Structures are given as C-alpha cells and as structure tokens.
Amino acid sequence: MCFTSIWILGSGISEMATDAVAVGVPRRRVAALSWRRLFSHSSFVVGAAIVAGVIAAALFAPLVTSYNPIEQSFRDQLLQPSRGHLFGTDEFGRDIFARVVYGARIALIVGVVADGLAAVLGVVLGVLSGYFGRRVDAVLMRTVDVLLAFPYLLLAMIVVAILGPSLINAMIAIGIVYTPQFARLVRGVVLQIKEEDFVEAARAEGAGSLRILGRHILPNILSPIIVMATLTVGYMIVETAGLSFLGLGASPPTPEWGSMLATGRSFMLTAPWIATFPGLAILVTVVGFNLIGDGLRDLLDPRLRGR
Amino acid sequence: MLRFLRWRLLQLGPVLLGVSILVFFGMHLIPGDVAQLLLGDKGTDADLQRMRHQLGLDQPVYIQYFRFLGGALQGDFGESIRTRQPVIWEIAQALPVTVQLSLAALAFALVAGLSIGVLAARFPHSALDTGSMVGVLVGVSMPVFWTGILLLLVFGGILGWLPLGGVLDGTLAVRRITGAPLLDGVLTGRWPIVWSAGRHLVLPAVALGATAMAAIARMARSSMLDVLGLDFIRTARAKGLAERRVVSRHALRNALLPVVTLVGLQLGLLLSGAVLTETIFALPGLGRLAITSVLARDYPVVQGVVLIAAAVFVVANLAVDVLYVYLDPRVRYQ
C-alpha cells in the first residue's frame, strides 16, 4: 500500500469559493490524507468505481459496442430501446448506446483539457501573485475579481464568441472561466509556503527566485491543485456539455452528450430516449466525480466525518 | 454597518470598470466588422466608410472605449444588428423575465432546500436523512438542461399538467408595467393572468432552482447538525422548550449564516442556468437574448447584456454580503 500523503489547504471547493464573497476570512487548516484512508471511505470508493467504469467505457468503446456512433441508417430511425439497440436510435438511425459510450471519450477529454488549462493558468497567475506580491499581486487579483464578477456561462459565451464555436474552444472557455478559482487557491498556498523556514533557509543560502519556486514552492502546491482539479472536473464536463447544448460547442455528428441532448429536445415527446440516456450519462459521470470530491472533503474536514 | 456598506460600494466601481474594459476589448477581438454586419451585403465601399465614421469605428480604440463607456453610463449601448432596436430596449424587455425566473427559482431552492436540510438534521442517520442526502447528491450533479427536459417530458408531455413553455397562454395579454408577467397580473388585478403566468413559471423555476436547492439542503443539514450540538441548544432544551421551538427559534437562525454565503455563490449559477433554462422553456429572458445574439453575431447586444448581467450579479452579491453582516454582528468588527 502506498502511503503518499496529500497535503491540502482548506476543506474543498466550497470553502475556497466562499472566500470570494464571504466577509470574514475563513480559518484555513492543513490536514494530511493517505491513500489507505481514502480507500476505506465509502463515497470515495463508489465514486472511484463509477469514474473507473466511465474511463473503461471510453477506452474500450469499440469492444463495448459494435455500432459506429456516427454511421447513419435510415431504416432504423427513431427505434425504441430494444435488445438490438439498448438505448434506441436517433433521427438518423444512429445507435444511442454507441453514441453515449463514445461520448464518454469526449467528456473525459473535455474534463482533462479544461481542468488542465485552468490548473496551468491558475498556477502561473497564483504563483506570480503570491510569490512576487505587491503590484503584480494587486493587478492580477483585481483581474481575478473582474473575472469572478461575470456569471460563468456568460464569460464562457464571450470567449466562445471570440474564438468561434467549436468543442475545443468550448473547453478553452470553460478552462478560462475556472482559472480564477485555481489562481486564488494557489496564491493562498504560496503566500503561506513562502514564509516557511525551509524557504527562508534556501533564500539565506543564496538561492534565486527561480530555484525557490521550482524546488520548494511548486512541489508543495501540486497536491492542493490535484484535489481542486478532482473537485471541479465534474462541473467542467457539465458546463462544456451546456455550451454544446446551446450550439456553442461540439457540432454534429460528434457524439457529444450536450449536443445529443439538444437534438433530443426536439424529439422529446415522440422519442424521449434520445434525450434521456445522454443526460443519464452526464449525471452518472458527475455523481462519480462528486463522490470522489465528497470523499476528499469529508476526510479533510474531521467535523463532517461520519455524517 | 454604514462604513462597511460604503467600503463595499467603493469596491464596486473598479470591478464594474474592469468588466466594461474586458467586455469592450473582448468584443473587439471578435473577427468581423460591425459596420459591415449592419450594412449586410448591399453596401458599397463608400457606404461602409460612412457607416464606420457614423459608429466611430474610424477612431482610435481607446476613444471608442470611452465613447462606449460614456454611452453605457447613460444607458446607451447602441443598436441591435438583428432587430435594429436600441440595445437597452431589448434588455429592458428581457431583464424582468429573467429576474422573475431567478427569484422564483431562488424562493423554491430556499424553501425546499431549508426544509429538507433541517428535517434531515433533526433525524440524522434515519432513512429520511439517507434518502434526502442521496437526492441531494443527484440534485447537485444533474445538469440544469437535462432536469428541464425531464420536467417538461413528465409534467408537460406525459401528465399534461403544466404548459410546455412560454410565459403566458397565447390567448392572454397583459398590460406591461414591470415586464414580469406574474407581477403585472397582480398589479392589474387580473387573476387569470396571474394563474397562467404562475403555471408557466413552475417548471422553469424548479428546473433552475434544483441544483441550488440540493446545495442549500446539504449546507443547511451540516450547519444545523453543528448548531444542534452546541451548549445554548442544550440550555434551551434544559429549560423545557419544545423541540420545535428549539429548532425554529434557536438553531435555525444560527444555522442560516453559511446558507446565506452559499446563496451568494449560487446567484452566479442561477444567472448562468437561466441561459439554459430560458432556452429549454422558450422564455424571452436575458439568457435567451444573450445566446441568440452570440449565435447571430449581434455584438452590441452581447456587449450590453453581459455588462448588465455582470452589474446585476455584482450588486446581488453585495446585497448578500450586507445580509450576512446583518445576520452575524460579529462580522462587523473584523
């Protein structure tokens, strides 16, 4: 059993996000977490199992279904769920089960890319702000305040309007929308770490800023970033699907859950299965990620344990 | 309190200025020329030059920004490319619909969320508690656009209890006072309109409020459990107060604080969710105006809508902060 410890500041996304509007500054707490404790936590295990299932479906999609997700078959239009077509077919006779399974690939890529982008941008902004402080901090944090003043979907819509509607641009938009949250988290951690004795010692030894950042600060902010990324990935999948639903993300015939729901809406009363199953897929995936997030939060906040 | 309010109001200016800079320069990054879009394919080069001059597009960008800012401060956001109506008129038509929807969703989320959370905390680890917490997990994970479609399918389509979309029955017309049909119906005293507007509002409000409801229920439960374990609750019980009174008078008010903060966070989600909800239920609100304008590349409208939405959001957050200070006197001294 691996005993790697994950160090985290604060107790999860709600508290971090709360910082944005709460009047008082919440007390931050540092807690340790081990893989053994994680895997004895029921929410975390159930969430991890669901997410593992989604990842397996995405990886082995051609083995899970023999249908091609974009191949049209006009003889098979709008068929009800049956043994031949588990989730039925859509208006072009495409197998919905196949589209949902292949859609898992897109959802996971969306989650990883958008999350990765937000994390990288957030780390850069947060480190610059927290480490160099003063004017850089003031300028960057005011920019973050401005970004937080937008309702997130409107900000994403502006970014998509600038870049042009496509799935990749929708991922970039969602990544940008989440950057302020990551930047605030990283800034907070950096502010704390840079006052630690080991950083002071490195500075006394004559280490430059780059060395201190690379050797001492970055390794210490990695774990909170990973936890934050786990907590946000589900929401990013939903929001990118939302952009696709509005016609600002994936375009036909891509088997993307959000755009499948948009089509399903037109056939809601005649063929409700078209909209039901992609929505269920989003729900299950997001529940999986949220359970993992809940598990992390419970373990990090002892007050909530066992409730 | 006044000092706090003044300090928060002072912060508002720079944030909104930042929003205006971001929106204006963001729109400038979009490929395409507004003058060309306004003229369509008909205009000659000379027409284009004249139009560019008329709109001030031949001026340096910073002068264009100050003109935009000056106009925006007076409520002038220019003219819609799609409808040729003033942008502010379009916004004035749409905003009340969104405000009505968001408030109804928030009311649903608060009432249902607090009730579920408090009940679950009163009977921790019971079947009721477990059931509601599973419901909460599903609630926070459900995409609003899917919730909307399912509600429409079940209550609009299969059961036929509620209308499939829109704000009023087609046969009814209401005199416009506030622009929010429900309120206008009340103000004009026409009850068939109130009934119809109310029926049209139920499904969108539930769809939009579902996520916030789940989040509030979870927060209310955990903060109620915290408070119920404190000494003053034991004192209240020891002096013989009925449990109902202990919960409603002593515990709830203290348990509300984290919920208020959460409501502030949910406002952004509500405004964002409104875009999707209005699309599903065909409501002529700000969200639908935004998405139609983005898709039609109607940039003056996008610019206006985003600026107004951000302003509403920032002011609503300020209101939540003020409420927080009012509810928790300790915050004032920090």
Residue type, A192: Q
DSSP-based three-state secondary structure for A214: helix
pLDDT of residue A104: 94
Please give chain A's pLDDT, 307 residues, in tens.
333 333 333 333 333 333 333 333 333 444 455 778 778 888 899 999 999 999 999 999 899 888 888 888 888 888 889 888 889 888 888 999 999 999 999 999 999 999 999 999 999 999 999 988 788 888 888 888 888 888 888 889 889 888 888 999 999 999 999 999 999 999 988 988 888 888 889 888 888 888 888 888 888 888 788 878 888 999 999 999 999 999 999 988 899 999 999 998 889 888 999 999 999 999 999 999 988 887 877 776 544 444 4
How many Å apart are CA A242 and CA B145, to the nearest integer?
A: 7
The answer to whether residue B306 neighbours chain A at the CB level (below 8 Å) is: yes
pLDDT of residue A32: 52
Using CB atoms within 10 Å of the CB of residue A164, give its burial: 0 to 12 exposed, 13 to 18 middle, 19+ buried: exposed
Q: Which residue has the higher pLDDT, B203 or A70?
A: B203
Of the candidates A16, A25, A63, which has an alpha carbon nearest to the alpha carbon of residue A185? A16
Judging contacts by C-beta atoms under 8 Å, the chain A residues touching residue B18 are 142-143, 145-146, 149
pLDDT of residue B267: 79
- Strand ranges in B181-269 using DSSP code E only, listed in sequence order: none
Number of domains in chain A: 1
Query: In A, residues 234-253, which contact B (CB 8 Å cutoff)?
Result: 234, 238, 241-242, 245-248
Tokens of B133: 């917490």
Is B153 inside a domain boundary?
yes
Q: What average pLDDT does chain B have?
A: 86
Query: In A, residues 11-70, which contact B (CB 8 Å cutoff)?
Result: 14, 17-18, 20-25
How many Å apart are CA B313 and CA B73, to the nearest integer?
A: 17
Is B42 inside a domain boundary?
yes
How many Å apart are CA B207 and CA B148, to the nearest integer?
A: 5
Residue B102 near residue B212 (C-beta atoms within 8 A): no
The answer to whether residue B37 neighbours chain A at the CB level (below 8 Å) is: no
Residue B157, domain CATH: 1.10.3720.10
Partner residues linked to A30 by β-bridges: A9
The answer to whether residue B290 neighbours chain A at the CB level (below 8 Å) is: yes
Find which of B102, B141, B326 to mutate to test the A interface (most A CBs within 10 Å of its CB). Answer: B141
Find all residues with CB under 8 Å of A14, minimum gap 6, and list them. A297, B219, B262, B265
Is B87 inside a domain boundary?
no
- Whole-angstrom Cα Rg for chain A: 22
pLDDT of residue A213: 87
pLDDT of residue A306: 42
Q: Which residue has the higher pLDDT, B201 or B56?
A: B201
Is B334 inside a domain boundary?
no
Q: Are residues B53 and B155 in the same domain?
A: no
Residue A287, domain CATH: 1.10.3720.10
Is B265 inside a domain boundary?
yes
Pick from A18, A161, A275: which is nearest to B149 by CB?
A275
**Listed residues B39, B73, B107: the one ending a domain:** B73
pLDDT of residue A16: 38
Q: Are residues B47 and B102 in the same domain?
A: no
Q: Are residues B195 and B260 in the same domain?
A: yes
Pick from A23, A149, A162: which is nearest to B313 by CB?
A149
Q: What angle do CA A43, A45, A48 make, to 5 degrees?
A: 105
Residue A232 near residue A115 (C-beta atoms within 8 A): yes
Q: Are residues B22 and B64 in the same domain?
A: yes
- Confidence band for B161, pLDDT divided at 50, 70 and 90: very high
Element housing B162 (H / E):
none
pLDDT of residue A33: 59
Q: Which residue has the higher pLDDT, A303 or B93?
A: B93
The answer to whether residue A180 neighbours chain B at the CB level (below 8 Å) is: no
Tell me the residue range of the domain where A103 lies.
Answer: 3-304
DSSP-based three-state secondary structure for A175: helix
CA distances from B180 to A268, B197, B263, B285, B286 (A): 28, 9, 23, 10, 12
Q: Are residues B215 and B102 in the same domain?
A: yes
Tell me the residue range of the domain where B273 lies.
Answer: 96-327
Q: Are residues B59 and B159 in the same domain?
A: no
- Overall residue count recorded for chain B in this entry: 334
The whole-angstrom distance between A15's CA and the closest CA on chain B is 10
Instruction: Tell me whether the omega of the peptide bond preceding residue A26 falls within 30 degrees of 0, making it cis.
Output: no
The answer to whether residue A151 neighbours chain B at the CB level (below 8 Å) is: yes
Q: Are residues B165 and B68 in the same domain?
A: no
pLDDT of residue B6: 82
pLDDT of residue A28: 41
How many Å apart are CA A297 and CA A29, to the nearest integer?
A: 12
pLDDT of residue A237: 94
The answer to whether residue B134 neighbours chain A at the CB level (below 8 Å) is: no
Judging contacts by C-beta atoms under 8 Å, the chain B residues touching residue A22 are 261, 324
**Can you list the pairs that B30-39 forms with residues at least 24 positions away whose Cβ atoms lie under 8 Å?**
B30/A161, B30/A162, B30/B297, B30/B299, B31/A164, B32/B297, B33/B57, B34/B81, B34/B299, B34/B300, B37/B81, B37/B297, B37/B299, B38/B79, B38/B81
In the predicted structure, residue B32 carries a pLDDT above the cut 80? no
State mean pLDDT over B263-267. 79
CA B143 distance to own-chain centroid? 16
Q: Are residues B189 and B251 in the same domain?
A: yes
In the predicted structure, residue B126 carries a pLDDT above the cut 70? yes
- Whole-angstrom Cα Rg for chain B: 24
Size of interface A-B (CB pairs under 8 A): 167
pLDDT of residue B332: 60
Q: Are residues B113 and B250 in the same domain?
A: yes
How many Å apart are CA B94 and CA B72, to the nearest integer?
A: 18
Q: State pTM to two decimals.
A: 0.85
Residue A4 near residue A216 (C-beta atoms within 8 A): no
pLDDT of residue A17: 39
How many Å apart are CA B236 and CA B244, to the nearest integer?
A: 11
Q: Are residues B240 and B120 in the same domain?
A: yes
Please give the span between the terminal C-alpha atoms of chain B, in angstroms, as a whole number: 12
pLDDT of residue B92: 93
Tokens of A129: 């702000």
Number of domains in chain B: 2
